[in-house]
A and B are shown apart, each in its own frame.
Chain A
Amino acid sequence: MTQQSRLRRMGWLAVLSLCTVCYLALHLKVHAVQSEVVRSERQIIALANRRMLLETEFETRASQEQLASWNRLDFGYAAPAAGQFVENERQLAKFGTPRGPGAPAPILVAAVTSGEKAPSFANFVSPLGKPVDERLLEPDAAHHDVAERTGATISIPLAAAIGNVRE
């Protein structure tokens, strides 16, 4: 056996072992990914089951029978009457008053400034009876707060009140 052919044989062996190592690495990687996929699938199944459990609990707690009994005891909502529905533009127009002869065209103003006498909005009151936020009990003070901080006029008082809640 010549030196050259021995070298060639060793080269082949090296290539073969490299391929084997690469194959083994790939094989392990594939298995690792596969087991990760299986684990994810199991997680998905467990979550789907959990979701179904929660969904069913919600459905059960909010069943029609339960809602009806809450309504009877606590809320007392009644079915809406004919006066509460507006079916078309004609019915909607019925609520407006016709403009008198010679009256100027109405100007629609969408904004008010804090300095003016702004209309008061309903306070947020929690169903438990306590106010959601103490500051909301005095909307005027809340307006001044915001107005002082921004140093400018505010356009929509309701937005200011909601802004306070978010803080």
Chain B
Amino acid sequence: MNALTFNAGFAPSRIRLVDIRRRQLLTAQLRMLLLGAGFLFCALLALLRIAWLGVVQPAPAEHSMAQALLPPRGEITDRNGVPLARAFPAYALWYNPDALGDGGSPLVKSPAEVAARLHAVFPDLDVAETTRFLAAGKAGYIRRRVLPEEVNAVNAIGELALETPAEEDRQYPQGRLAAHVLGYVADDGHGRVGMESYLDNRLLDPSERGKPVPLSIDVRVQGALEDELRSGMEAVNAIGAAGIVLDVDSGEVLALASLPEFDPNRIDTQGAKNMFNRATNEVYELGSTFKPITVAAAMDAGVVTDLSKRYPATPLHVDGFTIHDDENLGPTLNVPETLIHSSNIVSAQIADQLGGKRFKRVLEDLGMNERPYIELPARGFPIWHKGDWPRLRTMTVGFGHGIAVTPLHLAAAYSALVNGGIWRPATLLKVKPGDEARGRRVFTEATSARMKQLLRMVAVYGTGRKANAPGFRVGGKTGSAEKAAAGGYDRSQVVATFASAFPMDKPRYVVVVMLDSPQKVAASSYQRTAAWNAVPIVGRLIPRIGPLLGVMPDDNRDIDLSDLKPLVGDGGGNE
């Protein structure tokens, strides 16, 4: 009983102890479990985060210095590394009426006051118009181009609504120079018109845009060409002009100009009108400049074997059409006289003897049946007649009528005439030495040597005398073709061209200058033909560009003309 009592008295406390202990153990286990679950949860979260980063989220953009220095659009330089087009970190002035965000007046000061402060920063700003714009409360650009110091001045005005977002800009440091070659960048960020359009992908490619693209253009030559071309064009009131300087051995275009031009820094309606490229897009009947090609083709075909052979120079009647010269050049002419006096009649006879098939083949080899080879998107298709040429067409093409090509076609053909007979496609990209296009042979070496003499004779004795810059051994051929008009030719409008090469003893560069509709003015002695307007331009241009291109004037050198000199009298003549 006692024991029972003792047992009964002891057992409850012991049981309680056991109970407490078990409960504590349970609590501890529970806490351990919770802690473990917490850790597991954290680990799971971390794993999920890693999975999220790895699978869903794009990699964070790395802003390294190299990337920040990479221009958004590649640079274009000339052949010597002078920048012609570059991306330019610029600012714009944007009006944001919601910047204050309180629904009240967008400006702290009055619009007139802000406009006056802005006018102090930008003196060419129209105060009245800007005041109206600010008062209207509509978002928009106040200016597209703002310089960094002007940004500071605008921020000093203290208006939150005047924002200056950083914008990428395309800057052409040379202004209007080579505008037709370069083109411009439109608001959508893509190039238009010139090499900006052709090189668009290359200039935007992140892997390539860090390296500038060198063009074949030499900015000094381009500057001289545009300068002389512009003054020559304005002197005779021509409506347009084109000029090309081409390397005869590599096909590189050293300068290419079309006037009037546009300003790629600022495209307006006037500029948009002038985007048409006369050097590569417009086709012209280039007239007498084709005669050397006719003669060279005839020499190669064995039609002209004796330069002293005399051809009758009386007007020709073919298929009811009369071919005549501008003036009476005498009863007969030989080949050098034909080129010096620019006789249509004899050129037509030579073309006739050569035959349409062979003549056409030569012109096709010179690329005159297709668009000119150049990278520019603006390339004109020649007026070219397919199929067999009738006799009259062959004869008119012999003196440059009935076929219309671009001045660039002519420049490429002349470079084949003087470089030993190889025609090469023209290019605006710089060509490394040894990487020149292979080209195709059009004329024989011997014919090319004869043509060099004949072209030099035109500049020494004939219509090209005003281009005969002392020491530069210039040779070339003039051409003045009446412009085609409705129902025939307009006698009062001509296209005056001079296609030349220098130095003739070892030709390196072809220079083609063309004036569209020059007028009879005092500056051209009241003449309209190329000898009085296009030729003097070349005469002034070559002394400027020759030394830059490594051709030094030398009075002691010249091509040997002694075997042909007896065939011509004292020279002189007209178109």
> Which chain A residues have a beta carbon within 8 Å of chain B's beta carbons?
41, 44-45, 48-49, 52-53, 55-56, 59-60, 63-65, 67-68, 79-83, 85, 87
Report the separation of the CA atoms of residues A63 and B171 in the bound assembly, to the nearest whole angstrom.
13
A55 vs B86: C-alpha distance when bound (angstroms): 11
Q: Which of B175, B227, B544, B554 contacts A82 (CB 8 A)?
A: B554
Contact partners of B271 in chain A: CB under 8 A? none
Interface string of B533-569 (1 = CB under 8 A from A): 0000000000110110000111100000000000000
CA distance A109 to B68 in the complex (A): 61
B110 CB, nearest partner CB in chain A, Å = 34
With the chains together, A60 CA to B263 CA distance in Å? 13
Q: Are B176 and A45 in contact (CB under 8 A)?
A: no
Q: What would 29 A/B residue contacts be, using CB atoms closer than 8 Å? A: A44-B69, A45-B68, A52-B89, A53-B89, A56-B88, A56-B171, A59-B83, A59-B173, A60-B174, A63-B174, A63-B175, A63-B223, A64-B177, A64-B222, A64-B223, A64-B227, A65-B174, A65-B176, A65-B223, A65-B226, A67-B223, A68-B223, A68-B227, A79-B543, A79-B544, A79-B546, A81-B471, A82-B470, A87-B554
Q: Are B553 and A85 interface neighbours, CB within 8 A? A: yes
- For residue B547, which residues in chain A have a CB less than 8 angstroms away from its CB? 79-80, 85
Residues from chain A with a CB closer than 8 A to the CB of B471 are 81-82
CA distance A55 to B212 in the complex (A): 15
B172 to chain A, nearest CB (A): 9
Known interface pairs A49-B89, A53-B148; A63-B554 also in contact (CB < 8 Å):
no
Q: Which residues of B contact A48 (CB under 8 A)?
A: 69
Do A81 and B470 touch (CB < 8 A)? yes
List, in ascending order, chain A residues with CB within 8 A of B55's CB.
Answer: none
How many angstroms from the CA of A65 to the CA of B82 in the assembled complex?
Answer: 15
Indicate whether A85 sits within 8 Å of B552 (C-beta atoms), given known contacts A59-B173, A63-B173, A65-B175: yes
- CB neighbors of A among B150-196 (8 A): 171, 173-177
Query: Is A65 a contact of B173 with CB atoms below 8 Å?
Result: no
How distant is A119 from chain B, measured CB to nearest CB, in Å?
Answer: 31
- Residue of A with least CB distance to B220: A64
Write out the residue numbers on chain A whose beta carbons fall within 8 Å of the beta carbon of B220.
64
How long is the Cα–Cα vector from A47 to B413 in the complex, in angstroms?
49
Residues of B in contact (CB 8 Å), total: 34
CB distance from A124 to the nearest CB of B (A): 28
Using A45-B65, A80-B543, A81-B470 as known contacts, list a sample of 7 further A-B pairs with CB atoms less than 8 Å apart, ordered by residue number in A: A41-B68, A45-B68, A48-B69, A64-B177, A68-B223, A68-B227, A82-B552
- Contacts A44-B65, A79-B543, A80-B547 given; does A63 touch B552 at CB 8 Å: no
List chain A residues, Cβ under 8 A from B499: none
Residues of A within 8 A of B147 (CB): 53
B contact residues around A80 at 8 Å (CB): 543, 547, 553
In the complex, the answer to whether B553 meets A82 with C-beta atoms within 8 Å is: yes
Query: A64 CA to B229 CA in the complex, in Å?
Result: 14
A48 to chain B: closest residue by CB? B69
Chain A contact residues, majority secondary structure? helix
Tell me if B173 and A60 are in contact (CB < 8 A).
Answer: yes
Residue of A nearest to B541 (CB): A79
Task: Indicate with 1 or 0, residue by residue over B214-257, a CB within 8 angstroms of chain A CB atoms.
Answer: 00000110111011000000000000000000000000000000
Distance of A22 Cα from B137 Cα, bound (Å): 59
User: Which residues of chain A come closer than 8 Å to B173, judged between CB atoms?
Assistant: 56, 59-60, 63
Q: How far is the CB of B70 from chain A (nearest CB, A)?
A: 11
- Closest Cβ of chain A: how far from B302's Cβ, in Å? 40
Chain B residues near A45 (CB, 8 Å)? 65, 68-69
Nearest A residue to B228 via CB reads A68
Q: Please report the C-alpha to C-alpha distance between residue A63 and residue B176 in the assembled complex, in whole angstroms.
A: 10
What CA separation (Å) do A76 and B173 show in the bound complex?
Answer: 24
* Beta-carbon contacts under 8 Å, B437-479 to A: 470-471
Q: Which 9 A-B pairs have the closest CB atoms?
A: A64-B223, A82-B471, A59-B173, A82-B553, A79-B543, A41-B65, A68-B227, A82-B555, A85-B552
Report B-chain residues with C-beta under 8 Å of the C-beta of A44. 65, 69
Output the least CB separation between B179 and chain A (Å). 11
- Neighbouring B residues of A85 by C-beta, 8 Å: 547, 552-554
A residues in contact with B175, CB < 8 Å: 60, 63, 65
Q: Which residues of A contact B226 (CB under 8 A)?
A: 64-65
Measured between beta carbons, the chain A residues less than 8 angstroms from B65 are 41, 44-45
Residues of chain B with a CB closer than 8 A to A49's CB: 89
A88 to nearest B CB, angstroms?
Answer: 10
Give the shortest distance, in Å, between B220 (CB) and chain A (any CB): 7
B residues less than 8 Å from A56 (CB atoms)? 83, 86, 88, 171, 173
Once the chains are docked, how many angstroms separate the CA of A3 from the CA of B12? 43
| Minimum C-beta distance from B410 to chain A (A) | 25
Tell me, in angstroms, the Cα distance from A67 to B223 when the chains sit together. 9
Write the nearest CB–CB distance from A162 to chain B, whole angstroms: 30
Once the chains are docked, how many angstroms separate the CA of A65 from the CA of B148?
26
Complex Cα distance A48/B71, Å?
A: 11
Return chain A residues, CB-CB under 8 Å to B82: 59
Complex Cα distance A62/B502, Å? 29
With the chains together, A130 CA to B226 CA distance in Å? Answer: 36
Q: What is the CA–CA distance of A64 and B255 in the complex, to the nearest angstrom? A: 13
Q: Which B residues lie within 8 Å of A63 (CB)?
A: 173-175, 177, 223
